[in-house]
Amino acid sequence: MLRIHNIEVVYSDVILVLRGVSLEVPQGAIVALLGANGAGKSTTLKAVSGLLRSQQGEVTRGSIEFHGERIDRRAPDEIVRMGIVQVLEGRPLFQHLTVEENLLTGALFRKAAPRALRQDLDEVYSYFPRLAEFRHRTAGYLSGGEQQMVVIGRALMAKPRLMLLDEPSLGLAPLLVQSIFQVIRRINQESGVSMLIVEQNANVALQISEHAYVMELGRIVLDGPSAELQENADIKEFYLGLTQVGERKSYREVKHYRRRKRWLG
Partner 1 sequence: MNWPLVPQQLITGILNGGVIGLIALGIVLIYKSSEVFNFAHGHMVMWGAFLTWWFAGAAETGSELLNLPLWAAVMGALAVSVLLGLLIERMALRPMTGQPLLSIILMTLGLAQLLEGLASIAFGVEPKSNFPAPFSPGDVLVIPFPGAFGDAIRLKYTLVVAFGVALLGALLLIWFFNRTRTGLAMRATSENHEVAQSVGINVSRVFALSWALAGMVATLGGVLMAILTGVSLNLATVVLVAFPAILLGGLESLGGAVLGGVLVGLSQALVQAARPIEVRNSAEIAPYILLLIVLIIRPEGLFGQKRIERV
Rg of the chain, C-alpha, whole Å: 19
In angstroms, the CA 166 to CA 49 distance is 12
**171 is an interface residue for partner 1 by CB under 8 A:** no
**96 is an interface residue for partner 1 by CB under 8 A:** yes
**6 is an interface residue for partner 1 by CB under 8 A:** no
In angstroms, the CA 142 to CA 170 distance is 16
Residue 229, strand partner residues:
none
Q: How many CB atoms lie within 10 A of CB 67?
A: 13
Number of residues that bind partner 1 (CB under 8 A): 33
Q: Residue 97 or 176: which CB sits closer to partner 1?
A: 97
Closest separation between CB of residue 157 and partner 1, Å? 8
DSSP secondary structure letter of residue 109: G
- Residue 123 identity: E
Q: How many CB atoms lie within 10 A of CB 136?
A: 9
**17 is an interface residue for partner 1 by CB under 8 A:** no
In angstroms, the CA 212 to CA 222 distance is 8
In angstroms, the CA 73 to CA 65 distance is 11
Closest separation between CB of residue 26 and partner 1, Å? 24
Q: Residue 88 or 205: which CB sits closer to partner 1?
A: 88
- Considering only the stretches 84-92, 174-182, 246-254, 255-263, report the one whose residues sit in contact with partner 1 under the rule CB under 8 A: 84-92
- The maximal CA–CA distance of the chain, rounded, in angstroms, is 62
Each residue 25-64 as x (binds partner 1 by CB under 8 A) or -, in order, gives ------------------------x-x--xxx--------
Closest separation between CB of residue 146 and partner 1, Å? 11
Closest separation between CB of residue 247 and partner 1, Å? 37
**77 is an interface residue for partner 1 by CB under 8 A:** yes
Q: Which of 26, 140, 171, 225 binds partner 1 (CB under 8 A)?
A: 140
**119 is an interface residue for partner 1 by CB under 8 A:** no
Q: Which of 141, 173, 178, 190 binds partner 1 (CB under 8 A)?
A: 141
Closest separation between CB of residue 153 and partner 1, Å? 11
Please name the residue ranges forming H helices in the chain: 41-49, 76-82, 99-105, 114-127, 129-133, 144-156, 174-190, 202-208, 226-231, 233-238, 254-264
Residue 249, strand partner residues:
none
In angstroms, the CA 57 to CA 44 distance is 11
Q: Which of 19, 36, 65, 105 binds partner 1 (CB under 8 A)?
A: 105
Q: Which of 92, 171, 192, 225 binds partner 1 (CB under 8 A)?
A: 92
Closest separation between CB of residue 6 and partner 1, Å? 25
On whether the CB atoms of residues 106 and 131 are closer than 8 A, the answer is no
- Residues of the shown chain interacting with partner 1 in the complex, contacts defined by CB under 8 A: 49, 51, 54-56, 75-77, 80-81, 85-88, 92-97, 101, 104-106, 108-109, 111, 138, 140-141, 154-155, 158
